[in-house]
Structure 1
Amino acid sequence: MSEPTRRNGDAFPWHLGVCDAHCHPTDTLSSLSSDPISKARYLTAMATRAQDQHLVDSAAKQHPETIVPCFGWHPWFTHLLYDDTSDEPTYAPDRHGNDNGKAKEEHYRRVLTPNSSTSEIQQGFIVSLPSPTPLSDLISQTREYLLKHPTALVGEIGLDKAFLLPQPWSTDQRDGSLTPGGREGRPLSPYRVRVEHQIAILRAQLHLAGELRRGVSVHGVQVHGVLLDAIAATWKGYERVVLSKRQMHKITMGEEEPPTPPSSSDAESPKPFPPRICLHSYSASVEVLRQWLDPKIPADIYFSFSVAVNLSTKSTRNKIRQVIQGVPGERILVESDLHKAGEDMESALVEMYSLVCEIKGWAIEDGVKRIRQNYEAFIGLELDER
Structure 2
Amino acid sequence: MSSSELPPSEVLQHVVDVHCHPTDAPSILPESMEKLDITICAMSSKPSDQPLVYNLAKSHPRKVIPCFGYHPWFSHLVCLRGDVSKEDHYRDLFCTSSAEDLEDLEAFNTLLTSLPLPIPLDNLLVDLRRNLEEFPHAMLGEVGLDRAFRIPYDYNASARKLSPFTVPIQHQITILQAQMDLAVELGRNISLHSVKAHQPTMELLANMETKHGVDRWNKISLDLHSCGFKPEMLKDIQRRYANAFLSLSTVINGRSPNHLSLLKVCDPLRILVESDYNDVDMCTEQTWGMIRTTADVKGWTIETEWNENESDSSKWGVVRRLEENWLRFKAGHHSAKKK
Is TM > 0.5 for Structure 1 vs Structure 2?
yes
Q: What is the CA-CA distance between 1:184 and the residue it aligns to?
A: 4.2
TM-score (norm. length: structure 1): 0.75
Q: For 1:85-124, what aligned pairs fall within 5 Å after superposition?
A: 92-93=83-84, 103-112=85-94, 119-120=104-105, 121-124=107-110
- 1:15 is matched with which residue: 10, 15, 37? 10
Match of 2:177 in 1: 203
Q: Give the CA deviation at 1:292.
A: 0.8
1:29 Cα offset (Å): 5.0
- The equivalent residue for 2:307 is none
Among 74, 82, 87, the residue aligned to 1:77: 74
2:41 is aligned with 1:44:
yes
Moved more, 36-45 or 201-210: 36-45
Query: Could you tell me which of 191, 194, 203 is aligned with 2:165?
Result: 191
Tell whether 2:303 aligns with 1:303. no
User: What displacement does 1:274 show?
Assistant: 6.8
Q: Quick check: 1:332–1:374 contact (8 Å CA) kept in 2?
A: yes
8 Å CA contact 1:22–1:336 kept in 2: the answer is yes
Structure 2 CA distance for partners of 1:80 and 1:148, relative to 1, 3 Å? same
What's the secondary structure of 1:78's corresponding residue? Answer: helix
Contact 1:209 1:274 in 2 (8 A): no
User: Bigger shift: 211-220 or 285-294?
Assistant: 285-294
Q: Is 1:218 equivalent to 2:192 in the alignment?
A: yes
Describe the SS at the equivalent of 1:54: helix
- Structure-to-structure mapping, 1:1-386, within 5 angstroms: 6-7=2-3, 11-16=6-11, 17-28=14-25, 30-34=27-31, 36-84=33-81, 92-93=83-84, 103-112=85-94, 119-120=104-105, 121-168=107-154, 182=156, 184-236=158-210, 271=216, 275-295=220-240, 297=241, 300-312=243-255, 316=256, 318-342=257-281, 344-365=282-303, 366-380=317-331
Classify 1:360/1:38 alpha carbon distance in 2 versus 1 (closer, same or farther; 3 Å).
farther
Cα offset for 1:105? 1.7
Q: Where does structure 2 lack aligned partners over 5 or more consecutive residues?
A: 304-316, 333-339
What percentage of aligned pairs have identical amino acids? Answer: 33
Following superposition, the deviation at residue 238 of structure 1 comes to 6.0
Partner SS, residue 111 of structure 1: helix
User: 2: distance between equivalents of 1:194 and 1:273?
Assistant: 29
**2:73–2:146 contact (8 Å) kept in structure 1:** yes
Shift of 1:40: 3.9
Change (3 A) 1:37 1:161: farther
The question of whether the paired residues in 1 share the 8 Å contact of 2:17 and 2:275 is answered with yes
Q: CA deviation at 1:237?
A: 6.1
How has the CA–CA distance of structure 1 residues 320 and 145 changed in structure 2, closer, same or farther, with 3 Å as cutoff?
Answer: same
Residue in 2 aligned with 1:259?
A: none
Q: 2 CA distance for matches of 1:203 and 1:281?
A: 20
Alpha-carbon distance, 1:122 to partner = 2.3
Does the 8 A contact of 2:140 with 2:189 survive in 1?
yes
1:91-135 deviations in Å (ceiling 9; x for gaps): 634xxxxxxxxx222211222369999644522311321111011
Q: Which is higher, the Rg of structure 1 or of structure 2?
A: 1
Alignment partners' CA distance in 2, 1:281 and 1:11: 22
- More moved, 197-206 vs 36-45: 36-45
Q: What's the CA shift for 1:272?
A: 6.7
Is the 8 Å Cα contact of residues 281 and 306 (structure 1) preserved in structure 2? yes
Shift of 1:138: 1.1
Amino acid at match of 2:322: I
AA aligned to 2:319 is: V
Task: State how many pairs are aligned.
Answer: 313
Which one has the bigger helix percentage?
Answer: 2
The 3-state SS of whatever aligns with 2:46 is coil
For residues 155 and 29 of structure 1, what CA distance do their matches in structure 2 show?
20
Q: Is the 8 A contact 1:159 1:199 kept in 2?
A: yes
- Confirm or deny: 8 A CA contact 1:281 1:309 kept in the other structure: yes
Cα distance, 1:183–1:157 mapped onto 2, change above 3 Å = farther
State TM-score, norm by structure 2: 0.85
**2:335 aligned partner:** none
What amino acid maps onto 2:195 in structure 1? V
The range that moved more, 347-356 or 27-36, is 27-36
Structure 2 Cα separation of the partners of residues 377 and 189 of structure 1: 42
Judged with a 3 Å threshold, the aligned counterparts in structure 2 of structure 1 residues 32 and 111 are, in CA distance, closer, same or farther, namely: farther
